Structure formats: structure tokens, C-alpha cells
Amino acid sequence: MAVEMSDNTTAPLLVAARGGVPARTPVWFMRQAGRSLPEYRALRAGTSMLDACFDPEMVCEITLQPVRRHDVDGAILFSDIVVPLKAAGVDLDIVPGTGPVVAKPVSGRADVDALPVLEPEQVQPVADAIGLLNARLGDVPLIGFAGAPFTLASYLVEGGPSRNHERTKALMHADPDLWHALLAKIADITAEFLRVQVAAGVRAVQLFDSWAGALSERDYRRFVLPHSKRVLESVTDVPRIHFGVGTGELLPAMREAGADVVGVDWRTPLDVAVRRLVAAAPDRPLPVVQGNLDPALLFAGEEVVRAEVDRIVEEGRAAAGHIFNLGHGVLPDTDPDMITKAVEWVHRSR
Ligand code: 1CP
């Protein structure tokens, strides 16, 4: 589906996202804001994660920190995928060292019926942060984001981080009607959260379906794809990036969800990913991809990182556009100087 873009900038990230030829290969890193930066840890000391997410000045400053330090081509809004759930009234917390923890996990019809809708004013602090950021970012595009319905459902059903997603998969198969009702409600919240961010001025969005790779393609198509597709269709005027971990087998199905850019983790080389995406839709234009340096390799030394950057840039030439990124988020102990160097090498690569 052609997307109407109101943003006529030459910002490399946005040019690449539309399949154009940017002045340099754009690069940003998932989880670039936060944990790996000493200036982030200093600023966050004494403030809980969720309090930080609802403090516009703090969101603005944390979002800017990696842009100042690394010369990245995109700023990712500092927030979390559970922020819209919290704002809408779901009782949850982000526990240091663990992640999101839900007080009363969803298990039956009454729990699904009780899920609230998100009113735009409940995430006004996020919109305010975006306003501050746009005044301070210059031409570096701000990327908004939200959690995809499946990944958010996993936190709501499991009650917290989960390795196997067993309660989630049990619900999906044992009571498909309830499952679809749950995902439809989450999709409404996610779509509203993205609409608020776009209205406030983000110039691209990423839909994080981090845990979708836990599903078979069959289950993804039946239980998840229609809901993610509906969310992506609800965002109309900025490029949309769609990302998951371990999704090599799901790439063709994910393309059907309709995003402008498909994120690829480190397990699938970008040229292989492009072949799979093309085979799934031979009549559509060549896809645009984002990825896919293994975040663990930032610990392997300069020579390794430099060679990986070259390989990935080369493999990315198979696509209509390539936004360089990691295959998943920056790991907490990563040396920030290695991130700065990787950015420099990506920029020098063409
Ligand atoms: O630069 C950035 O990307 C920072 C903004 C950001 C983003 C995009 C944060 C801050 N969280 C997210 C998205 C997010 N949150 C995802 C999708 C991306 C991914 O796959 O990594 C997911 C799955 C979460 C859920 C979450 N929140 C986890 C993972 C738990 C698990 O299941 O393994 C964790 C640890 C959090 C807390 C969190 N989010 C962000 C920060 C800086 C933190 C740590 C806060 C703290 O402990 O005080």
C-alpha cells in the first residue's frame, strides 16, 4: 500500500525507509538510549523507570544523550512498550533487573473485558516530550514506538517476562475467541499510542513484536498477523518499521502486515532476508530492511566489529534501502565507545 509521506526531508533514515538513496547509510541502535550510558545512569538515579517515562524533560534528555554521543541518524523516544498500558490504568510496574510485572495477569473473559481503552490525554506527557524533542533535535528524525499486540499480550498473560510463553500459547489455542478479543483490545491501545506520537511529531515509528519469533508461521498468521496489520494500517503518514527477534521463518508473513521497513535479527543475513521477503510478494517493490549486527559482537573487539559492519552493509545492498541497526537491543555492559566507532564505520562504508 502506498503511504503518503508529509515529511520531505533529506534525513538519511527517512530517505532509506522509503527506498530512496540516502547521502549515507543511516544507523541507529535499538536501546541506544539508556542502560549502556553513564550519563543515563546518573540522570536516572533515584527515579523509577515509569516515573522517568512520564517526565517530559527527563524523556527528552535521555533521548538526546545517544544522539549527542554517537552521531546516530535517528533518535528513539525513551519510553517502554508497557507505558500505554500503565497510562490506561493497567496495574503494572517495571521492576529493575526483571522488566514489566503485571499485578493481575489476564486469564479469563472478565479480565479481557476489564482491560481499559487508552485516552490520548493519559499519555500527554509522552506527547509533551515529543514536542520538546522536536525543538531540540534539528533534522535528526525522532522515532516513536509501541509494543505489538502479541508481545504485549505475553506480558499481560504471563504476568512478566517469559522464556516459553506457555500461558500465552495455551490461551491462544484453548480459547481462540478470547485470544482474538484480547489482541483486538491491545491493538486499539497500541494504535492510539502510535497515533498520539505521530500527531505530536515523531517522524517514523517502530512496532516491536520482540517475542513473535516464539511462534510458528502458522500460529503467527492465524493469531497475530491480522492484529499487527490493523495497527500498522492505522499509522498513515510516517514510515513504519516492524521488528521481532528470531523471526527468520516469519519474514514473509511479517511483510504481509504491511510495514515500510522489516527489521531483521542477526540470525538471518540481510540478503537472505531480502530473498525471503521478495519470494513472499514478487509483484511488490523490493523491500527495505533494518538490521542486523549481533549485539554480543560489540564485545568482540574493533577488528571484528569493523568486519561485521562491512559484511552487513554489503548484504544490505540487496534491499531497496538499508537502515543499519543491531539485531536486537544494546546489551547493558556494552562499551559506549564501541557504539560510537561502529556508527563511524557504518557512515564511512559507502
Ligand atoms: O533506546 C531505547 O530503545 C530505549 C527505550 C526503550 C525501548 C524501545 C526501553 C527502555 N524499552 C523499550 C522497548 C521494550 N521494552 C521492548 C522492545 C524492545 C526489545 O525487544 O528489547 C521490550 C520487550 C520491553 C520490555 C522490557 N522493559 C524489558 C524486557 C523484559 C524481558 O521480557 O526480557 C525490560 C528490562 C524493560 C525495562 C526497561 N525498558 C527500557 C529501559 C531503559 C528499561 C530498564 C529500566 C530499569 O530497569 O530501570
Asked if residues 226 and 262 have their Cβ atoms less than 8 Å apart, the reply is: no
Residues 6+ apart with CB under 8 A from 7: 14, 141, 203, 237, 238
Hey, what domains does the chain have and what are their CATH numbers?
12-347 (3.20.20.210)
d(CA 268, CA 181): 33
- pLDDT at residue number 2: 39
- Known active-site residue 230: no
Q: Is 44 a catalytic residue?
A: yes
Amino acid occupying residue 272: V
Measured from the CB, is residue 35 less than 6 Å from ligand 1?
A: yes
Cis status, amide bond into 292, omega within 30 of 0: yes
How far, in Å, CA of 348 to CA of 174, rounded?
52
Give distance in angstroms: CA of 350 to centre of ligand 1. Answer: 32
203 is catalytic: no
Task: Report the chain (350 residues): mean pLDDT per 10 consecutive residues.
Answer: 61 96 97 92 96 98 97 98 98 97 98 98 98 96 98 98 98 98 98 98 98 98 98 96 98 96 98 95 93 98 98 98 97 96 94
Q: How many Cβ atoms sit within 10 Å of the Cβ of residue 3?
A: 16
Q: Rounded to whole angstroms, how far apart are CA atoms 42 and 114?
A: 39
Cβ atoms of 125 and 191 within 8 Å: the answer is no
Residue range 83-134, pLDDT digits in tens: 999 999 999 999 999 999 999 999 999 999 999 999 999 999 999 999 999 9
Rounded-to-integer distance, Cα 224 and Cα 333, Å: 33
Q: Ligand 1 center to residue 59 CA distance, Å?
A: 14
CB contact set of 323 (below 8 Å; sequence gap of 6+): 13, 16, 17, 26, 27, 28, 74, 241, 261, 288, 289, 290
How many whole angstroms from 278 Cα to the centroid of ligand 1? 31
Please report the pLDDT score of residue 4 as a whole number. 46
Say what the pLDDT of residue 3 is: 44
